[in-house]
């Protein structure tokens, strides 16, 4: 075998080694990117679910406080205890919102801002910072749940989840109220 043939063989081996190295590098980098995306998607999902859970806790606390203040339902807690619970729930909601700000896509962040606005209106009426009728109270709660659905939609798109939670297949639902409440009775708010 001549020197020319040996050089071609060495060049082919070097080219093969370089090609193998580049291919492994590109595949490893791609695998690493997928792992990072998956890790961030997992964190986003946790943040989105935690935010909604915290938001629902705030609503539950506000409903208890409102119903107590309006004499619609007895509570085993004092008003000051409920106000303290509302304050703590609001603090936790703020922490959960900060996670949305750090991890959420643009549409999710905007949906969270909108949800915060209507949720604060519920808190304020419950605590007496703003006034309103029972129907105002119900409309504020309806608005919160509409915005929760909008948040769900934005989060699903951000996470790449198929389908929707609103629309033709999922019509808007009203508040679930006992019959006496629906008829305007004083059984609760």
* 181 band by pLDDT with thresholds 50, 70 and 90: low
**Measured on CA atoms in the order 93, 97, 103, 104, is the torsion positive or negative?**
positive
Higher-confidence residue: 63 or 170?
63
Residue 59, domain member (yes or no): yes
Contacts for 76-83: CB closer than 8 Å, 24+ residues apart: 83/127
Decide if 140 is inside a domain. yes
Residue 39: inside a domain = yes
**Is residue 74 helix, strand or coil?**
coil
- How high is the pLDDT of residue 81? 96
Domain membership of residue 120 as a residue range: 3-182
Q: What's the pTM? A: 0.72
Q: Read off the pLDDT of residues 62-81 as tens digits, 9 standing for 90 and up.
A: 999 999 999 988 889 999 99
Q: Does residue 187 belong to any structural domain of this protein?
A: no
Query: How confident is the model at residue 189, as a pLDDT?
Result: 47
User: Is 73 inside any structural domain?
Assistant: yes
How does DSSP assign 127-141, residue by residue? HTSS---HHHHHHHH
Does residue 122 sit within a domain?
A: yes
Q: How many domains does the chain have?
A: 1
Q: Mean pLDDT, the chain, as a whole number?
A: 87
Q: Is 103 within a domain?
A: yes
Per the CB < 8 A criterion, the answer to whether 188 and 72 are in contact is: yes
């Amino acid at each position: 075998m001549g020197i020319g043939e040996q050089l071609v063989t060495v060049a082919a081996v070097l080219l093969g080694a370089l090609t193998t190295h580049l291919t492994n590098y590109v595949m490893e980098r791609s695998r690493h990117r997928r792992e990072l995306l998956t890790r961030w998607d997992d964190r986003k999902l946790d943040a989105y679910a935690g935010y909604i859970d915290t938001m629902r806790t705030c609503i539950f606390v506000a409903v208890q406080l409102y119903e107590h203040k309006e004499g619609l339902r007895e509570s085993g807690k004092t008003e000051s205890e409920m106000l303290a619970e509302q304050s703590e729930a609001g603090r936790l909601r703020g922490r959960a919102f900060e996670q949305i700000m750090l991890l959420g896509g643009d549409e999710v962040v905007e949906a969270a801002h909108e949800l915060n606005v209507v949720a604060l209106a519920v808190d304020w009426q419950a605590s007496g910072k703003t006034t309103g009728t029972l129907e105002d109270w119900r409309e504020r709660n309806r608005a919160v749940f509409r915005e929760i659905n909008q948040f769900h939609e934005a989060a699903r798109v951000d996470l790449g989840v198929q389908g929707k939670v609103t629309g033709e297949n999922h019509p808007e639902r009203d508040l679930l109220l006992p019959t006496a409440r629906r008829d305007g009775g004083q059984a609760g708010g």
